[in-house]
Structure 1
């Protein structure tokens, strides 16, 4: 593992050197943003496949409505029948989770790289890099101890929080609007539940993006940059891929939040 982390550190360091003429002392931070964009490009085909899967699931809504009527008094039979329908039509209800799952290794690589003082038995030189005044290995609590909320480091985090809040608000308004236009994955337009257990998820779904604020506050700044960049990418990507699918983008957010 240490040898792999050394290779990854060299990769980030090399990319930072290439970007240094443009970004100076914040070149490593720019390298992380570029690395995140590259990961999202690799995952994009899965996101497109998830959108296609959501369209296929949307086509099944009339049949699911019939199953709901048939098994109105037996939630267990309803759930089994819905799963059998998905299997028959070769539609996976979990396809929307794949983009997030494939991103986790990249996030944990950055988290590990900027959380350890040594890599391969040697001092971790990546910790010397900064985003403006804030060390990439530091956390919001460290910034608060070095000048408070409006100190040089604290202002970097305020900027990240502002971006996250703007993206979360965009997602919140879009999801609420989509949920109001018609059926989502588990609730019919009239408010009747189609898939047991989805009602509770749909109630909190519009607020899920705001949880990213907590993540940014507690992880190393390098990992926080990954989260902010990836979350912003996801918001734009969903707006494009689900633009003609009322309600579907909200259901996708439940599976791919963050």
Structure 2
């Protein structure tokens, strides 16, 4: 079933198409042939700017969870044989701190519709019954409507396309590596998360965005590349503003 056959979603997709096409037209005098890609970048920056308050909330939630971690571990030790009591005490602790275990998850949920719409805009040959002109645009020779997998296995990969995709993927992998190193979780005593296998899995998760990017059209991959760079810079700035307790302790600071 096509969700965009539902009239309200079809109207939303058509409105997004009109806005992106209009922005691309407005940017054409300045950017020429890469105006459509420039429109995607500007839309991405606008979305990220609108989500700054949510990012601040996420950083505060991370700081709170880090501060509460020792008390949560104590509750788990004390009530490990009584799951219902453990759940009540855990939720009571979160309520006393005016937070919840799910605080800070909104950014992921908020950007998912944007990625979905961008993916759809550069995948469908028709939008609301009219031709999708966005598919005719490219970024330095790489078609915005084609994924890395499709150009490689479809035999349409040329030097320009591979250069654009290689640059984007290298950027996302570099950001993932910096994120892995800078935001490595603090070890927790007697935690199964400290096992070598789990540590490898957690490290590999930083690279999932780059893996996902090869499956979506270039326009959506461009959105992802700008997003991960913005997110890294924002997290580094917010970590300074809202340091984690361990990172702020004199013992750690003196190392």
TM bin, normalised by shorter chain, reads: 0.7 to 0.9
| Structure-2 residue corresponding to 1:91 | 99
CA contact (8 A) 1:175 1:247 kept: no
Q: CA deviation at 1:206?
A: 2.7
- Structure 1 residue 214 and structure 2 residue 222: aligned? no
Deviant stretches of 4+, over 4 Å: 72-77, 197-202
Q: Which runs of 5+ in 2 are unaligned?
A: 1-8, 248-255
Find 2:221's aligned residue among 214, 219, 224. 224
CA–CA distance in 2 between the matches of 1:22 and 1:216? 28
Change (3 A) 1:224 1:118: same
Alignment CA distance shift 1:157-1:215 (3 Å) = same
Q: Is the 8 A contact 1:147 1:154 kept in 2?
A: no
Q: What is the aligned counterpart of 1:242 among 239, 244, 250? A: 239
Shift of 1:129: 0.9
- The TM-score normalised by the length of structure 2 is 0.82
Task: Provide the rounded CA distance (Å) in 2 between the counterparts of 1:199 and 1:74.
Answer: 24
Contact 1:16-1:28 within 8 A present in 2 as well: yes
User: Which digits, 9 at most, give the CA deviation of each residue in 1:16-68, with x for residues without a partner?
Assistant: 12222332111100110110110011111011011112222333234224323
Partner of residue 252, structure 2: none
> Any residues of structure 2 matched to 1:191-206 within 5 Å, and which?
191-193=189-191, 203=199, 204-206=201-203
Q: How many residues align?
A: 234
The aligned runs of 1:62-211 (5 Å cut-off) are 62-72=70-80, 77-144=85-152, 145-146=154-155, 148=157, 151-176=159-184, 179=185, 182=186, 188=188, 191-193=189-191, 203=199, 204-211=201-208
> Structure 1 unaligned runs (5+)?
249-258
Name the CA distance, whole Å, in 2 between partners of 1:59 and 1:141. 43
Aligned residue number for residue 28 of structure 1: 36
Contact 1:171/1:206 (8 A) holds in 2: no
**Aligned equivalents of 1:247, 1:109: Cα separation in 2:** 40
- TM-align CA RMSD: 2.5
Whether contact under 8 Å (2:169, 2:210) holds in the other structure is yes
Q: CA deviation at 1:85?
A: 1.4
Using the size of structure 1 for normalisation, the TM-score is 0.81
1:247–1:111 CA distance, 2 compared to 1 (3 A): farther
